Amino acid sequence: MKIIKNVKNYIFLYIHSFSLFWKASRGSSTILLFLIPIQALAPAALIKIAQIMLDNLLHGNVPNSLLAYWGIIFFISSAAIPINTSLQGILTDKLIAFVNIELMKKSKSINGLTLFENPSFYDNLQLVSSEASWRPVNLIVFGISMIRELITIISMLFLLGRYNPWIAIILILSIIPQSLVSYHIQQDSFETMVTRSPDARKIQYYSQALLTAKDAKEVRLFGMFDFFIKEYIKVYKGMHFKMKKVRLKQMWISLVFLGISVSLSIASLVWMIIVIEQGKASTGGFLVFVSTLTATTDGVYSSIENSSLLYDTLLYMQKYFDFMNVKETNTYSGELSFPSNVKNISFDKVSFKYPGQKNNALTNISFTITSGERIAIVGENGSGKSTLVKLLMRFYAPQQGTIELNRTSITKFNIQQYRKKFGAVFQDYSKFYLPLRESIGLGNPELMSNKEKIINAMKDGGFFESFIEKGLNLNTILGKQFNGGIDLSGGQWQKVAISKSFMANSQILILDEPTASLDPRSEFEIYQSFIKLTKNKTVFFITHRLSAVKLADKVLVLKGGKINGFAPHCELIKKNKYYADLYNLQAKSFQSN
């Protein structure tokens, strides 16, 4: 039963995967499909014509028509080889691009971050994306050659069967156990590879730590080389041991089956010699028999090998299809259009726990703000500040309570429209290694070609001065990753991220420690910009610099994931001891500096 299920699954995956060829390139797929039977049937046709020619030769002349048939078939089947190779190459390129684009589109459809924090989903995603650049090659090469070989084998068995059907039947039967064993081993090796996926990521991380510019300073300063190399070898040995076992098993089993089928071939050859000695078959018949026997056994072997290698690829495709079918459990997107006026935003008894965590990151959070208010969120490390804004941006959904905008749950709004209304600078902002125009323009892709808008965003985000001083232009590539790129200081990168957030005409701005890497003058200037640019906008800014809280209309104080206070700064400083202590501690450290 399990075998039938596996075979059904194999065929289903095979057909499903083939549909991707069609989607990737209809032209190449059609020609390849047309070439398959030509190439597959040519060997049997050539052998059969050669037999007739030999029999004719022994009894007189070979008719010209036979020579012509042989020549034409030989020419077509030979010409099919380079055509096939080129088309397979073209189709491979298209399929790789198709698979990668589909993966990127799928990623676009995942709105939240919860799935990315599920270890098995993340491991699968890493496997699918890291192998997407070469797996489709195997799908094409093994997938196509397997069909071709199957047709060739059937045509050969048909020729063999005319001499002795039993030889054909025994040959077919000998394929079955070996195929099953091969598939089983291939599945084993794929599963070993999948289960070693976390290890594979680990060793990749170890080697990258020593090879990338990012960690180069610390690695050298603290002499981390021996540690990482030792860890690499330890994990690698564990992985290698499991894979080696699977590969050796595969080799021994193949050798045993090879022995059986070679013995079978020798036995059938002896039988044919006896038949000829008894005068029951012609010399031409002997040629056909020997050629078909070797072609069939060769075909059987390579088709078992190709189909089991294809199986490996189909198991990968299964992971690919699984990823493509993944659905988020939270319904992130509603139907409502975003309101033209944001009147208020409120959290009502919101509690949230990160996936797989024991404790709440936020508990029973309730507050309301009105449009145009500037809210500073303060609190010690780990108090839940970033989590609160991540919930507001709908990267996660709270397990309890609701977040509302204009008294409507934010889950009811269309997520794309909703997110467009937010501008944000994250604590761990992304550095995009792109030309400056794109790096900033990505804040509002529709305005990417608007030079004036980009220059203004740079002025507002405090990057314009560095832009002039460093002699940059809008086409300068940021980062050293690509040829001709230039690197920026931490503060300059942050200013690029801030400039990007000023590109969008967002109604709500979220700034998660926007000035952490900035010098005091830049910080002052950027806050000035915020005040100017965020008039009538609702702003949430997380800050550890309590001097900045004076810019806020209200301060939300978080402590251990709960609200400790929510009021204007001057009120809190008088009434909230925890806040006053935090503020005075920092004020003192400023004075002592």
Ligand X SMILES: Nc1ncnc2c1ncn2[C@@H]1O[C@H](COP(=O)(O)OP(=O)(O)OP(=O)(O)O)[C@@H](O)[C@H]1O
Contact positions vs ligand X (CB under 6 A): 117, 354, 357, 361, 379, 381-387, 427
CB of 116 to ligand X, least distance (A): 9
Query: For residues 337 and 427, which CB has a smaller minimum distance to ligand X in the complex?
Result: 427
Query: For residues 422 and 426, which CB has a smaller minimum distance to ligand X in the complex?
Result: 426
Question: Do 388 and 403 form a contact (C-beta atoms < 8 A)?
Answer: no
Query: For residues 382 and 520, which CB has a smaller minimum distance to ligand X in the complex?
Result: 382
CB of 552 to ligand X, least distance (A): 16
CB of 388 to ligand X, least distance (A): 7
Please state the separation of Cα 329 from the chain's center in Å. 20
Query: For residues 171 and 556, which CB has a smaller minimum distance to ligand X in the complex?
Result: 556
Question: Do 357 and 114 form a contact (C-beta atoms < 8 A)?
Answer: no
DSSP state of 593: -
Query: For residues 71 and 382, which CB has a smaller minimum distance to ligand X in the complex?
Result: 382
CB of 354 to ligand X, least distance (A): 3
Query: For residues 156 and 362, which CB has a smaller minimum distance to ligand X in the complex?
Result: 362
Query: For residues 102 and 117, which CB has a smaller minimum distance to ligand X in the complex?
Result: 117
Query: For residues 117 and 348, which CB has a smaller minimum distance to ligand X in the complex?
Result: 117
Q: Which residues, 6+ apart, have CB-to-CB distance to 557 below 8 Å?
A: 378, 379, 563, 564, 565, 566, 572, 576, 578, 579, 582
CB of 359 to ligand X, least distance (A): 7
CB of 204 to ligand X, least distance (A): 21
Strand pairing class (422-425; 562-567): unpaired
CB of 20 to ligand X, least distance (A): 34
Query: For residues 314 and 389, which CB has a smaller minimum distance to ligand X in the complex?
Result: 389
Integer Cα distance of 383 and 381 in angstroms:
6
Q: Which residues, 6+ apart, have CB-to-CB distance to 453 below 8 Å?
A: 444, 447, 503
Q: What is the distance between the terminal CA atoms of the chain, rounded to a whole angstrom?
A: 77
Query: For residues 174 and 517, which CB has a smaller minimum distance to ligand X in the complex?
Result: 517
Question: Do 553 and 540 form a contact (C-beta atoms < 8 A)?
Answer: no
Query: For residues 279 and 356, which CB has a smaller minimum distance to ligand X in the complex?
Result: 356
The residues with which 554 forms a beta bridge, in sequence order, are 375
Integer Cα distance of 538 and 374 in angstroms:
6
Integer Cα distance of 481 and 45 in angstroms:
56
Coil, strand, or helix at residue 423? strand
CB of 21 to ligand X, least distance (A): 39
CB of 545 to ligand X, least distance (A): 12
CB of 205 to ligand X, least distance (A): 18
Q: How many CB atoms lie within 10 A of CB 60?
A: 8
Give the 3-state DSSP-derived string for 341-407, with helices as H, strands as E and coil as C: CCCEEEEEEEEECCCCCCCCCEEEEEEEEECCCEEEEEECCCCCHHHHHHHHCCCCCCCEEEEEECC
Question: Do 397 and 333 form a contact (C-beta atoms < 8 A)?
Answer: no
Query: For residues 437 and 544, which CB has a smaller minimum distance to ligand X in the complex?
Result: 544
Query: For residues 160 and 375, which CB has a smaller minimum distance to ligand X in the complex?
Result: 375
CB of 145 to ligand X, least distance (A): 46
Residues in the chain: 593
CB of 491 to ligand X, least distance (A): 18
CB of 558 to ligand X, least distance (A): 6
Query: For residues 142 and 541, which CB has a smaller minimum distance to ligand X in the complex?
Result: 541
Q: Which of 50, 56, 54 is nearest to 71 (CA)?
A: 50
DSSP state of 15: H
CB of 117 to ligand X, least distance (A): 6
Q: At what angle do helices 135-161 and 165-195 cross, to 10 degrees?
A: 170
Q: Which amino acid is at 323?
A: F
How many helices (H) and strands (E) are present in the chain, helices listed first? 19, 10
Q: How buried is residue 491: exposed, middle or buried, by Cβ count under 10 Å (0-12/13-18/19+)? A: middle
Task: Report angle CA 17, 18, 19 to the nearest 5 degrees.
Answer: 90
Q: How buried is residue 543: exposed, middle or buried, by Cβ count under 10 Å (0-12/13-18/19+)? A: buried
